[in-house]
Every structure is written in structure tokens, then in C-alpha cells.
Amino acid sequence: MEIGRVIGNVWATKKDEGISGQKLLVIDIMRSRNPEKESLMVAADVTGAGVGDMVLVLRGTPARMIVGDGRTPVDAAVVAIIDSLEIRDRNGTD
């Protein structure tokens, strides 16, 4: 799982039938170890998340299983809206 923040929505008039009816969100994934790497992705949403929400994202087969029957053409899915997050550094301090 990855942590990210919803920064936008995707609307597509022409798309594969497998994603018809799916809400698609633009997610900015947190990158603490490699901040130069591109961190934007599009994920199908099953939680009702919106712009500004911090979310948990699954990729690959688990994402396809959450969104549909395992054949749904997605590679990422929002599976939770994070209420709070506490991160400690490697030395155990805040």
C-alpha cells in the first residue's frame, strides 16, 4: 500500500467498458526516499474520496480485485481515506 493525497479528478468520455462507472482520481503519492521520482497516478476510487483527502492506494492485482472481478483494467485503487497519520523517524522520535 502507498499513501497519497487526492489532487484532482479524471473525466474521460471515451474509455474501456471495464472502467465505465468508475470514479477516477489523480493521486500525489508520498515519496520520502526519492522525491525526484514522478509521484502522480490515476486510481479508481471505491471509498468516496475527494480532493484534499489523504488516502491509501493499492496497485496491481489487489487493486483489480477491489474494483471488480480481477479483470477490470486498472492498476491502482483508493481503498481507504486516512483520518490521521503519525510518522516517527527511524530513531523512534517524532
- Residues of the chain falling short of pLDDT 70: 32-38, 90-94
Fold of 2-12+20-81: OB fold (Dihydrolipoamide Acetyltransferase, E2P) (2.40.50)
CA distances from 7 to 42, 49, 55, 89 (A): 10, 11, 11, 26
DSSP count for the chain of H helices, then E strands = 1, 5
pLDDT of residue 49: 97
> Residues in the chain, how many?
94
pLDDT of residue 37: 66
* Vertex 11: Cα angle to 13 and 57 (nearest 5): 130
Would you kindly state where each structural domain of the chain is located, as residue ranges? 2-12+20-81
- Residue 60 buriedness (CB in 10 A; 0-12 / 13-18 / 19+): exposed
